[in-house]
Structure formats: structure tokens, C-alpha cells
Amino acid sequence: MAKWVYSFGGGKSEGKSEMRNLLGGKGANLAEMSNLGLPVPPGFTITTEVCTHFYANKRSYPAELKAQTAAALGAVEKIVGRKFGDAKKPLLVSVRSGARASMPGMMDTVLNLGLNDATVEGLARESGDARFAFDSYRRFIQMYGGVVLDIAHHHFEELLEHAKSDRGYALDTEMTAEDWKELVVDYKAMVEKELGRPFPQDPHEQLWGAIGAVFVSWMNDRAITYRRLYQIPEEWGTAVNVQAMVFGNMGGDCATGVAFTRDPSTGENAFYGEFLINAQGEDVVAGIRTPQQLTKAGREKQGAKLPSMEEAMPETYAQLVAIRTRLERHYRDIQDIEFTVEKGVLYMLQTRSGKRTAAAALRIAVEMAEEGLIDRKTAVSRIDPSSLDQLLHPTLDPKAPRTLLSRALPASPGAASGIVCFSADEAEALAAGGKSVILVRIETSPEDIHGMHAARGILTTRGGMTSHAAVVARGMGRACVAGAGEIRVDYAAKTMSIRGRTIAAGEAITIDGGTGEVFAGEVPTVQPELSGHFARIMEWADSYRRMKVRTNAETPLDARTARRFGAEGIGLCRTEHMFFEPSRILAVREMIVADDATARAAALAKIMPFQRADFVELFEIMAGLPVTIRLLDPPLHEFLPHSEADFVELARTTGKSVAEVKARAEKLTETNPMLGHRGCRLAVTYPEIYQMQVRAIFEAAILVAKAKGETVAPEIMIPLVAVRRELDVMRDHIAKVAEEVRAATGEAVEYSLGTMIELPRAALRAGEIAETAEFFSFGTNDLTQTTFGLSRDDAANFLGAYEQQKILVRDPFVTLDQEGVGELVKMACARGRTTRPDIKLGICGEHGGDPASIQFCETAGLDYVSCSPYRVPIARLAAAQAALQESASAASLVKKPAAKKSAPALDRHARVRLDAARRGAVRPAPGRTAPLARLAVAKKPVVKKPVAKKPAPKKAPAKKAPVKKAPIKKKPAPKAKPKTKTKSKRK
Ligand code: ADP
Ligand code: MG
Ligand code: MG
């Protein structure tokens, strides 16, 4: 019989933390904590498979579920000695959702379930506290009403407000038992009116109502939005946890709280959290009351008056500290925990790995490695490369003048300026229009997620460090200042005011989520310092990395930034940008409208010194490193004038009439410029352009070598090659210039010639192109465009629909399409290497900075990735993780067949990769051995079996080849190519 329900509690569980897929994160960890002997109220988890079943079967449950649930509930009753629905000693439960990945605030928890008109009396009698019992009952009606019965929140709020104002109360705490009892009557009447039927009194009906609501909520809008933002598959489903209630609201010796085992903002190894005395459930995170600090140090740091838990409940606090250590040792990661204290007894209600800022992630990883909790590889693997973005971006310029408006909680670091806006929808709309927005809310809720995502920063006037706004902002890497209680927000008037000053929607403010400060207007920012833990992780990452990381840069500023970030050369210098400078564009235009080669050469001669100066500066910055320069790529009409004044000026300098100049421009206009007269096609018709460029490159290299004693190794890259002969023609032009420069200066420049692979034909014919090309650089932007036949400039209009209808999972311009474009890349690599075993392979499209695509580049065995300067550290880390993963999977490949009998243990994909390793297709970088190849060599006996299964390679009779040599045996080298003419290592 299928098992749909897993029990936990009473010191043992049917589940464990590894069963997260089945039990959800919350359920799996409740089970694990219970197994560890921690005090967890007993309960059970209804699995995610029930959710799947629910949606696959017209929202119905598997037949066995009722009985299994009843049995599990019976077990809970036994442990706590209470009965569900019993009027004397009622068992109350919470019903909590819990998906595989934590989705904070996405699904609502119902507490105190099992209360009705009869059990509430039992609870009152038994606890001797009628006030507590009726307060719990009204909370239950309110939560259940909202979550399960879909009754709007404000109905309850209004009744509560009336109840208080009628009695002249300001606070909930002034309500007496009698008052709550009366409110319960009002609540029930209102529910009956809204619903058309009474509030359910049968605890079992309540239970199944709540379970159903959790499953249904998996498909609500906010859950769907969250899943889309974080790419959580819908198929995962959620589990439901039903757990015996414990009460943090039974008096002064009760409390509820949340904590992080380390500081989630800075990563400091200090216990960190908030709690509330005499409170239940989500009161801490909801921001209704301002919570107290967990530790004395924390309280002192904040200058708060109310005592910390350490001071108010020292014994319970000591137990909590012991659990903190226990959990960290067990999970070997920072934990985010929820707990409740009932009459001095501590209960654990949740643990999960804590969300942390990028800075905290680095510090925690480094310190845990140093503490010996994890090893360095784990430390490196733990950092999400994309999250480094948060650190690489500017912070407030300390010298800049500023007007402080308020200071509140530093909820998520980073500085952000933008215009104030008060609703998530507006924030989204303004951001879509290119505006920087600061979303200002009293507090945020899951409905605001899209606006928080669109905003640069978030400011709330209520709530603590663990409020919804703070948690979500940290996860998203948005700056956030929370709990700015001094600021009053008026949604209707769209203003925020503070100490007599009013700021309206649309005015700029700046927030610093690292200090909690809020400033008027825009405050300038400065670059971050990249040292300490960041440097440590990078150093470790670099020791595991196989691929090199270069940058795409053409300006000195970009090149310097990239070097500071650790770039190991330039992988793409786009020379067209250099043509657009105001001081040069006129000469460029003269060149374009020139009637013949002589006139063209004259115009080009004016541009040449500029180009040379550009390269001199770049080469100085990059001295000692390779620099790949792509010769002019875009169609010429991009440089042509647009305004009348420009045409007039061009006419004047060229001595032509305006009409003539315009006619020339007209002629250059193309129907489909993306597929038109661009790239090397330009130089087929106008070779002088490329000749000028390479002359500038060679002369610059000579100048820099003379001045610095060191220069770069220029790699000249020809764009848009489809046919090998195109490259041959370019090679000859370039060789001619090289010879002229040598004759004139007596110096020979060492350079290499290669090509972009950005057209499918080039990928297909890579074998013969490699006869001329000494390197390939995959221009995956154009290669994606041409492989899909999909215009990058127009795709945005409809790619959204493609993603929505799941035709494409990811935007192929962001993450490389491994199946299609990736196949071409792999094919071109293999064919290129067959011709030229030492061909250098890299990628220079946007994908070079995308971690998922970098992983692919590692498997494809590229030598380097190249990306924009700010992504260089991200790429370094992603490349290290890819190398670690690759060697881990190679290791498991080698192990698997050893455990089983023979090759069939390998799946097809694995076998292909193992073969690739054996053939050396996963190529080591010079001086290093690729992890796969290394392993295949090292573990010879194991590799033997898959070898034997495979059809023997044609030229090496496998039978006779000694086993130990098989893996390292190189294919007979292709007949050595004579060095191409371009390899001009002449003296
Ligand atoms: P979320 O996923 O939003 O964190 P939870 O299911 O963790 O929701 O519930 C929120 C809070 O409700 C918990 O932190 C805890 O304080 C309270 N809670 C849940 N179950 C119980 C219980 N069995 N007894 C007491 N409090 C509970
Ligand atoms: Mg919640
Ligand atoms: Mg929780």
C-alpha cells in the first residue's frame, strides 16, 4: 500500500532530512530534529505526492489517505495525551504547508485548529485561563476564515477595531476573556453571513478544509509568481504538516521567536534573533508588535530597552543556545529556526538553511571551512555565483553630502537610489519604463513580490529584521531598510512624511540597507572593496578552476575594472565602439561615402592614429595577457548620419552635395542588416578597413613593448566567417600588413589569427576553418540568433509567451540553449580539434557570464570564458564550481561500474562523457590535465569495462591494446599541419 503520511515526534520519526522531495523542507527537517532528540511537538506530514495526485485527479485524494491520516492523528493523541475534538482535553493542531524549496510566506499556516464552541471551554478550564482560550479561538476563526474560507481580512479587523473602540481600549492586550468571547460570537455571525453557512464546528471538517486549502494554495497567484521568479517547478508540489499545538501565548513564561544561528546580514558567528513574550505564531514576523532581541549583545547594539531573551529567560535561552550549536554541527550550515516557549518549556517548530546576504554567505563559508565544519571545496560550491553581484556593486560614497531623513533597521545591504513609489504594481510599471524605483510600504506581503523584484530598494515603516520585506529582500539581493517607524506613509495621498517633511511619489530618495539609513534625493555611490572573505573564496575557487576567465572590454575603464576583478585577458574587444567617438565619427563617415579605394584610404589614415592610441592604452593595461581583438563587425550604415545637420557637415568635408551624400546613405540601407553586409563581408569588399585596424594593432604592440618591455599577444579575430576561404582572404591581407610593418619598423609582432564561430555553417565546417584559424571564439549571441533564426532585437516581443507556454524554458539569449546551440558548439570544438589539436577555444557571448552556461563550457572543454567586467568574479566562481562538479561526476562515473557488474550501469550520457574523457576530447588546459581525463587515467581497471563494451576505435584494436594504455592512448595525431602563414613568429 502506498504510504502517503509520515509521522514525527516523541523522539523518533518515519522521515528524515534527506526526504525533502517527499516531505517538503519543513516536514523533512521536523522529522530530522525529532530524530536528533530535540523537543519537537509531534505531528505528521502528508507528502508532496498527495499534492501531485490531487492535481492529477481533479482535486481528489488517494483512497488510503483518510485512514493513514486518522492513524497518524491517533499517534499524536497518544503522545500528548489529548484527543482531537475532545471537550475536556482537546488536542489542537497547526496545519502548515511546506514545499521542497523554502517559499517564505507563500502558503498560510492555520493555528489552533480543533477549537469549537465545546473544546474552547475545555481549553479554558484546563488551562485555567479563559482569556487565553477565547483569544486562541478568535485567532483560529480569523486565520481559518481567511485562509480556508476566503473571507477578507478586513471583516475581522473591523470587528476587532469596533470591539476595542466600543470599550475604549487601545491595545489587544486590554481585551478580557469576556471581551474575546463576545468577539467570537461576532466573528461567527459575520462568517455565517459572508459564507451562507455557519463556521464549521466539526474538528475533522476543519482539518480537511485546512489540508485542502494548503494544496489549493499551491496554485494561487502569489505561489505561482514566486515559483516563476525562483524557477521552482510546479510539479514539485507541497506537503502538508499537521502538528500538535504548543502555546507561546499562555502568559509571561511563554514566548515565540525566530533566530538565525549566525548573523544573516554580515555572516558573523553570533546568535541572532528576535522573540516576543506571550505571543503566538507569526506575531514576530508579521510586524504587529516590535519584537525584542534574542541576545543581550543584540539588544545593546540596537539600543533597545526591552530585555533580551538572554536576560528575560536565561534558562530557556541556554537550552536554545545548545540547540543552535547542535543544529549547526548537524547541518553544517547556518540555520533559520522557529521556536516557541510554553510555560518555560522550549519547543522547536522549524529549521531550515538560512537565507543570507552574499557578504554573509562568503563569511560563513570561509569561517565554517576554517572551523573545520566543511571543507574548502564545499565552501566554494556553496556560494551562488550570481549573488556576488550584490557585492560588486557600489555603496554610498562616504564623502558625498547627504540629508538624513531617518534611520531604521539595516535589513538587506546595498545602497539604492530611486523614485519613491507606494504600490508594487506601480513599481513594476515604472521599472519596466526604465526608472529606478524605491518601493515604500508600511509592510510588505507576498502580494508585493513582483514590485519588490522590480524595485532597486525597499523601505518599510513596520516590521523587524525577519519581517517579510527583510527576508525577501535579502533573498533577492535588493537593498532594504525596514521598520522605519518615524516615517508615516499615506497610501491615499501617495506621500511619506517625516518630521514635518513630505515626500511625494516620484521624488527621489536613497536607502542604505547596510546601515539602515534613509536619505533625501540621490546620493552618489562608490566601488566596493574586494578583500577579506571575498578574496579568500576567490583564491580557493581559482585553485579548483580549469578554464581561464577573460573579459569583454574595449574601454580602458572596463579593462581596468576587469583586471581588478581578476580577468586573465580580453576575450572580446569590439572595435566598432572605437569608431563612434565624436572626434572620429566624421572621418569614419568620410570613409564610408568615399568613391574609391584611394579616397577611402585617405579617410582611414585619419582614423588610424586614434585606433592605435586606443590599442596602446588597452595593451598597457593588459600587458602580459592575451587580448582578442575583433575587427570591425557592424554594417556600415550604422555609422551614417541621421540628422540633417550631420548630412550637411559630411557634405562639406567631403566636397559632395547633400543629395549625393544622402543617396550614398540610401544605397547602404539594407532590408536585413543583421544578415547583410557586415563582419568579414565588409572586408571582402573594402579590405582597407581591416588593414588599417591591424596596422594600428601591430604598431601599438610594438610601441608598448618598447615602452614597457612587455606587451600583449594580440589575437586577431575575424567576425561572421561562414566559409573557410573568407578567413584565408583575411589572413593574406593581414599577413601583408604584418610584413609592411616589419619592413618599416624592423620589428615583427607575434600574433595569432582566429575566428568567431557565430554562424551554423562555420560550426559545421569548423574542421576546415581550423586549418586557417588558430583559435575559435564562440559568439553565442549571434550563434543563438542564427541557429534559432530568431532576431535578438525583436524576440523580446514574443519570447515571454514562449516561456509562459513552456515552449522554451529559458531565454536562450540569457542561458545557452545546450541542446541546440550547444550541440553546434560541441561539434565545432570536436571538428576544430581534429584538425588542430592545440586550437584555443573560448566563448565571448553574453553566456560567458552566465553560471549555467559556464557549466556547459566546462563540459564542452573550452579553454576560457569571456564576460563583461562586473561578471568576471561570478565567472571565476562558476568556472570553479563547474570544474568541481565535473570531477565529482567523473569520480562517480568511475565508481559506479565498479560497484555493479559492468558497463550498463552507465547511462548513455555518462558513457558519452567517459568516452570523451578517454579520447581526450575533454581537453586539459595547457599544463593541466582535465579532471575527466585524469580520472580515467588514474582508475584504469574500472575504465576497462566500458571500453570493452564500446565498438573499438577504428585504428586501435582494443583487444590487443594493453588495458592500462587504452584510456590515455591518443588518437593518431592528425597529420601535422604546416604552421599557417599567419603564425608570424618571424624575427
Ligand atoms: P511559514 O512557512 O510561513 O514560516 P509556519 O508553518 O512555519 O509558516 O508557521 C508559522 C508560525 O506558526 C511558526 O513559526 C510558529 O511560530 C507557528 N506555529 C506553527 N505550528 C505551530 C505549532 N504546532 N505550535 C505552535 N506554533 C506553531
Ligand atoms: Mg507564513
Ligand atoms: Mg516557519
pLDDT digits (tens, 9 = 90+) for 315-357: 999 999 999 999 999 999 999 999 999 999 999 999 999 989 8
Q: Of all atoms in ligand 1, which is nearest to the CA of residue 244? A: 23
User: How far is the CA of 370 from the CAs of 334, 353, 373, 376, 378, in angstroms?
Assistant: 15, 19, 8, 9, 12
**What pLDDT digit, counting tens, does each position of 617-631 carry?**
999 999 999 999 999
Res 103: pLDDT: 74
Tell me the best of 73, 84, 109, 335 to mutate to test the pocket of ligand 1, counting ligand atoms within 8 Å of each CB and taking the most.
109
Residue recorded with cell 568615399: 594
| 199 has a pLDDT exceeding 50 | yes
Residue recorded with cell 572586408: 683
Q: How confident is the model at residue 53 (pLDDT cuts 50, 70, 90)?
A: very high
Backbone angles phi, psi at 969, to 5 degrees: -60, 120
468 catalytic? Reply is: yes
- Range name among 249-258, 319-328, 427-436, 958-967 with the lowest pLDDT average: 958-967
**Rg, Å, the chain Cα set:** 34
Residue in 242, 272, 246 with CA at minimum distance from that of residue 260:
272
For the chain, give the percent of residues with pLDDT over 70.
89
Res 287: pLDDT: 60
Q: How far is the CA of 155 from the centre of ligand 1 (A)?
A: 24
Q: Of all atoms in ligand 1, which is nearest to the CA of residue 106? A: 3
**What pLDDT digit, counting tens, does each position of 107-121 carry?**
678 999 999 999 999
Q: How confident is the model at residue 901 (pLDDT cuts 50, 70, 90)?
A: very low
Tell me the best of 338, 351, 355 to mutate to test the pocket of ligand 1, counting ligand atoms within 8 Å of each CB and taking the most.
338
Ligand nearest to the CA of 103: 1
| 912 has a pLDDT exceeding 90 | no
105 CB under 6 A from ligand 1?
Answer: yes
281 CB under 6 A from ligand 1?
Answer: yes
Burial 28-38 (b: 16+ CB within 10 A, else e): bbbbbbbbbeb
31 CB under 6 A from ligand 1?
Answer: no
Backbone angles phi, psi at 184, to 5 degrees: -60, -40
Residue recorded with cell 594593432: 697
Q: Long-range pairs for 452-456 at CB < 8 Å and ≥24 separation?
A: 452/424, 452/427, 452/476, 452/478, 453/229, 453/428, 453/478, 454/424, 454/427, 454/428, 454/430, 455/418, 455/421, 455/427, 455/431, 456/416, 456/417, 456/418
621 CB under 6 A from ligand 1?
Answer: no
Q: Of all atoms in ligand 1, which is nearest to the CA of residue 96? A: 6
By the CB criterion, residues less than 5 angstroms from ion ligand 3 are 338, 350
Q: How far is the CA of 94 from the centre of ligand 2 (A)?
A: 12
| 976 has a pLDDT exceeding 50 | no
**What pLDDT digit, counting tens, does each position of 845-875 carry?**
889 999 999 999 999 999 999 998 888 999 9
| 97 has a pLDDT exceeding 50 | yes
Q: How far is the CA of 493 from the centre of ligand 2 (A)?
A: 30
Q: How far is the CA of 329 from the centre of ligand 3 (A)?
A: 21
35 CB under 6 A from ligand 1?
Answer: no
d(CA 878, CA 849): 9
295 CB under 6 A from ligand 1?
Answer: no
Q: How confident is the model at residue 475 (pLDDT cuts 50, 70, 90)?
A: low
Taken in order 610, 616, 621, 623, is the CA torsion positive or negative? Answer: positive
- Tell me what the pLDDT averaged over the chain comes to: 87
Q: How far is the CA of 96 from the centre of ligand 1 (A)?
A: 7
- The percent helix, strand, coil of the chain (3-state, each to 5) is 50, 15, 35
Taken in order 230, 232, 237, 242, is the CA torsion positive or negative? Answer: negative
The residue contributing the CA closest to ligand 1 atom 15 is 281
Res 711: pLDDT: 83
The residue contributing the CA closest to ligand 1 atom 23 is 245
53 CB under 6 A from ligand 1?
Answer: no
Contact of 45 with 15, CB cutoff 8 Å = yes
The residue contributing the CA closest to ligand 1 atom 22 is 245
pLDDT higher at 1 or 135:
135
351 CB under 6 A from ligand 1?
Answer: no
Q: How far is the CA of 312 from the centre of ligand 3 (A)?
A: 24
Mean pLDDT of all residues in 552-559 = 88
Q: Where are the alpha helices (DSSP H) in 176-282?
A: 177-195, 203-217, 221-230
The residue contributing the CA closest to ligand 1 atom 26 is 281
Res 288: pLDDT: 64
95 CB under 6 A from ligand 1?
Answer: no
The residue contributing the CA closest to ligand 1 atom 17 is 281
Contact of 95 with 140, CB cutoff 8 Å = no
83 CB under 6 A from ligand 1?
Answer: no
- Range name among 152-156, 165-169, 634-638, 870-874 with the lowest pLDDT average: 634-638
243 CB under 6 A from ligand 1?
Answer: yes
Mean pLDDT of all residues in 676-681 = 95
Q: How far is the CA of 351 from the centre of ligand 3 (A)?
A: 8
Contact of 958 with 948, CB cutoff 8 Å = yes
Contact of 45 with 13, CB cutoff 8 Å = no
Contact of 412 with 513, CB cutoff 8 Å = yes
- Give this prediction's pTM: 0.76
The residue contributing the CA closest to ligand 1 atom 11 is 281
282 CB under 6 A from ligand 1?
Answer: yes
Residue in 387, 469, 465 with CA at minimum distance from that of residue 424:
469
Mean pLDDT of all residues in 47-65 = 96
Tell me the best of 350, 352, 445 to mutate to test the pocket of ligand 1, counting ligand atoms within 8 Å of each CB and taking the most.
350
| 791 has a pLDDT exceeding 70 | yes
94 CB under 6 A from ligand 1?
Answer: yes
42 CB under 6 A from ligand 1?
Answer: no
Res 749: pLDDT: 93
Q: Of all atoms in ligand 1, which is nearest to the CA of residue 102? A: 2
pLDDT higher at 106 or 564:
564
DSSP letter assigned to residue 388: G
403, amino acid identity: T
Q: How far is the CA of 703 from the centre of ligand 3 (A)?
A: 65
Number of neighbours of residue 142 by Cβ within 10 angstroms: 21
Angle between helices 724-745 and 687-708 (to 10 degrees): 50
If DSSP codes are grouped into helix, strand and coil, which group holds residue 235? helix
Contact of 163 with 183, CB cutoff 8 Å = yes
| 913 has a pLDDT exceeding 70 | no
Q: Of all atoms in ligand 1, which is nearest to the CA of residue 258? A: 14
| 136 has a pLDDT exceeding 90 | yes
Q: What is the separation of C-alpha 140 from the centre of its chain, rounded to a whole number of angstroms?
A: 37
256 CB under 6 A from ligand 1?
Answer: yes
Res 925: pLDDT: 34
Which of 239-248, 908-917, 951-960 has the highest average model confidence (pLDDT)? 239-248
CA 275-277-279 angle, 5° bins? 90
Contact of 222 with 314, CB cutoff 8 Å = no
Res 786: pLDDT: 96
844 catalytic? Reply is: yes
Which entry of 468, 533, 573, 680 is annotated as an active-site residue? 468
Ligand nearest to the CA of 349: 1
Res 868: pLDDT: 85
Taken in order 845, 848, 852, 858, is the CA torsion positive or negative? Answer: positive
Mean pLDDT of all residues in 688-710 = 95
109, amino acid identity: T
Mean pLDDT of all residues in 694-713 = 93
246 CB under 6 A from ligand 1?
Answer: yes
| 382 has a pLDDT exceeding 60 | yes
| 822 has a pLDDT exceeding 90 | yes
Which entry of 844, 847, 857, 867 is annotated as an active-site residue? 844
Q: Of all atoms in ligand 1, which is nearest to the CA of residue 241? A: 6
Q: How far is the CA of 347 from the centre of ligand 1 (A)?
A: 11
